């Protein structure tokens, strides 16, 4: 099977997972909208992440901080000074590139020797210019006298600047974590690969505050836990997940050690999540810039110190793309496309179909719908042949098809069709809820 990103994009549009933003106006670069199925899938993934962090771990709590924050935060974090990508333009065809994608040595003077990958002309590249990735905006009604603010490029800083308040109100002792899901914005020079790299996206970040000296051990633990999440919770094939360690030249200015969790996307292995040992870099910078003492008092060792931070930082949209790519399957024997999503993250758990639109079958099907819908998302479909109805739902990733026929009226049974195998069982209507619920664990 040739699993291409184009096929996934097309299925996402047709079935209502993801649309290009502002499509009727010709689209808006690198921003996407999530349709009826997409929003359910995205929420399901986010909910599992949230549960894994804040419900399973007694020492991790949640936070929802603002997108706009005091501009000094971005000076302290290093984003104003360091959050740049080098940009080059081809003077011939006006294509734009991130310099580091065209040459390893972006400081070299050799841009007159570089060939444009698009038009093929050599020697027309501009020298690299540094380009800050943060979106600026203006606070206050009068543009000239207003204060500049930034749309946050990561959710992490909201956690750092609130860490003492959270610790104070929860009385948590080190080690403890704070988790947050929210939008982040980066004015990416080249946004590509569908929802992999966009200018507006969602991050799921957890910052784990540890005693300096325990950071290496915590890093090992969190790497293992996070890998497990992809395989056991999201149901991604373990052959498609790997770690990549950042070498000296890749390490961000704040990191002592960094690992990416990568997924084998149709366009190659790429980062979905970063796990970083940020040391006390962020808290010490915020101490310096805010003038506030951010040290933690450790009652066990009777000392004050700035905790080290182990960060797990995942892109929700990238994670969803990994889930979609992994689930995508062309069943050539049966001429159908299937999203083999784990039932627990599938947008809809079952489709309920009366075999025909008369003889009381729709009423019976609706009565099943009423029983199931308080528990999970189900759909009712009476349009078209039963085979077409099933295939539509295979593409949507719906794991079960429930069909009501004339026998259902006599003995209160239905057929339960399994998406991946297309196997059908005859079951008692009273058992449907239990069977589906069991598969959602
Ligand atoms: P990349 O190298 O791909 O630009 P990064 O190393 O800058 O990513 P981080 O700053 O570590 O990324 O951000 C953490 C996570 O946020 C990434 O692993 C990714 O899943 C997500 N992310 C970052 N930038 C984008 C983007 N432009 N679009 C979608 N997700 C993103």
Classified as helix, coil or strand, 84 is: strand
Task: Report how far ligand 1's centroid is from the alpha carbon of 179 (Å).
Answer: 17
CA 351 to centroid of ligand 1, rounded, Å: 36
pLDDT score at 108: 59
What is the average pLDDT across 191-205? Answer: 95
pLDDT digits (tens, 9 = 90+) for 223-280: 999 999 999 999 999 999 999 999 988 888 888 999 999 999 999 999 999 999 999 9
Instruction: Find the mean pLDDT for residues 15-40.
Output: 96
| CB of 223 closer than 6 angstroms to any ligand 1 atom | no
Residue of 85, 188, 201 to mutate, ligand 1, most atoms within 8 A of C-beta: 201
Q: Does residue 13 register a pLDDT over 70?
A: yes
pLDDT tens, 99-111?
A: 888 876 666 556 8
pTM score, whole prediction = 0.94
Q: Is the pLDDT confidence value at 146 over 80?
A: no
Instruction: Compare 103 and 403 and report the one with higher pLDDT.
Output: 403
Q: From atom 14 of ligand 1, which residue's Cα is the shortest distance away?
A: 313
What average pLDDT does range 286-303 have in this prediction?
97
Question: Residue 112: is its pLDDT beyond 80?
Answer: no
Write down the domain spans for the chain: 48-71+138-327, 84-132, 348-439
CA of 380 to the centre of ligand 1 (A): 38
Long-range Cβ pairs for the range 154-157 (8 Å, 24+): 154/184, 154/203, 154/205, 154/313, 155/65, 155/180, 155/181, 155/182, 155/184, 155/203, 155/205, 156/205, 156/207, 156/282, 156/311, 156/313, 157/69, 157/73, 157/74, 157/77, 157/282
Cα of 154 vs centre of ligand 1, distance in Å, is 9
Residue whose token pair is 């936070």: 63
Round to whole Å and give the CA distance between 235 and 323.
Answer: 8
CA 363 to chain centre: 40
pLDDT score of 99: 87
Q: How far is the CA of 272 from the centre of ligand 1 (A)?
A: 7
Write the CATH number of the domain with boundaries 348-439. 3.40.50.800
Atom 11, ligand 1: residue with shortest CA distance: 274
Give me ligand 1 centre to Cα 255, in Å: 15
Return the pLDDT at 100. Answer: 81
* Per CATH, domain 48-71+138-327 is 3.30.930.10: yes
Q: Does ligand 1 come within 6 angstroms of the Cβ of 315?
A: yes
Reported confidence tier of residue 85, pLDDT bands at 50, 70, 90: confident
Is the minimum distance from the CB of 403 to ligand 1 under 6 angstroms? no
* pLDDT tens, position by position, 59-81: 999 999 999 999 999 999 999 99
pLDDT the model gives residue 37: 98
Q: How far apart are CA 23 and CA 61, in angstroms?
A: 39
- pLDDT above 90: residue 330: yes
Residue 345 has pLDDT above 80, yes or no: yes
Q: What per-residue confidence (pLDDT) applies to 319? A: 98
Q: Is the C-beta atom of 188 inside 6 A of ligand 1?
A: yes
> Is residue 201 in contact with ligand 1, taking CB distance under 6 Å?
yes
Q: What pLDDT is stored for residue 161 in this prediction?
A: 98
User: Which ligand 1 atom sits closest to the C-alpha of 186?
Assistant: 27
Measured in angstroms, how far is the CA atom of residue 355 from the centroid of ligand 1?
Answer: 47
- Band of the pLDDT at 185, cuts 50, 70, 90? very high
């Amino acid at each position: 099977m040739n699993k291409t990103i184009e096929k996934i994009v097309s299925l996402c549009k047709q079935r209502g997972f993801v649309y290009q933003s502002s499509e009727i106006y010709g689209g808006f670069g690198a921003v996407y909208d999530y349709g009826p199925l997409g929003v359910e899938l995205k929420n399901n993934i986010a909910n599992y992440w949230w549960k894994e962090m804040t419900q399973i771990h007694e020492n991790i709590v949640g936070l929802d901080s603002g997108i706009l924050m005091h501009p000094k935060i971005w000076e302290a974090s290093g984003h104003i000074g360091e959050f740049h990508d080098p940009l080059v333009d081809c003077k011939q065809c006006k294509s734009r590139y991130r310099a580091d994608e065209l040459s390893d040595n972006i400081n070299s003077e050799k841009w007159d020797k570089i060939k444009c990958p698009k038009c093929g002309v050599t020697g027309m590249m501009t020298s690299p210019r540094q380009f800050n990735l943060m979106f600026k905006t203006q606070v206050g009604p009068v543009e000239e006298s207003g204060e500049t603010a930034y749309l946050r490029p990561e959710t992490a800083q909201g956690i750092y600047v609130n860490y003492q308040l959270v610790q104070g109100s929860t009385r948590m002792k080190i080690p403890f974590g704070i988790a947050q899901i929210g939008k982040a914005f980066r004015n990416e020079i080249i946004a590509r690969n569908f929802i992999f790299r966009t200018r507006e996206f969602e991050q799921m970040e957890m910052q784990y505050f540890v005693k300096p000296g325990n950071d290496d051990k915590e890093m090992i633990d969190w790497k293992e836990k996070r890998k497990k999440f992809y395989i056991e919770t999201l149901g991604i094939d373990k052959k498609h997940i790997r770690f990549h360690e950042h070498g000296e030249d890749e390490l961000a200015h704040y990191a002592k050690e960094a690992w990416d969790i990568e997924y084998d996307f149709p366009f190659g292995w790429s980062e979905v999540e970063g796990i970083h040992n940020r040391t006390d870099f962020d808290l010490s910078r915020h101490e310096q810039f805010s003038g506030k003492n951010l040290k933690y008092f450790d009652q066990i060792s009777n000392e004050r110190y700035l905790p080290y931070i182990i960060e797990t930082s995942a892109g929700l949209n990238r994670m969803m793309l990994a889930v979609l790519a992994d689930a995508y399957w062309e069943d050539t024997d049966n001429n159908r496309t299937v999203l083999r999503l784990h039932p627990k993250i599938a947008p809809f758990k079952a489709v309920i179909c009366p075999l025909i639109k008369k003889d009381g079958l729709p009423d019976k099907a609706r009565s099943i719908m009423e029983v199931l819908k308080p528990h999970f998302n189900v759909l009712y479909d009476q349009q078209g042949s039963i085979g077409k109805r099933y295939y539509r739902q295979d593409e949507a990733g719906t794991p079960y098809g429930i069909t009501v026929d004339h026998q259902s009226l006599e003995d209160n049974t239905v057929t339960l069709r399994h998406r991946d195998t297309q196997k059908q069982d005859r079951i008692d209507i009273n058992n449907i809820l239990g069977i589906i619920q069991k598969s959602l664990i």
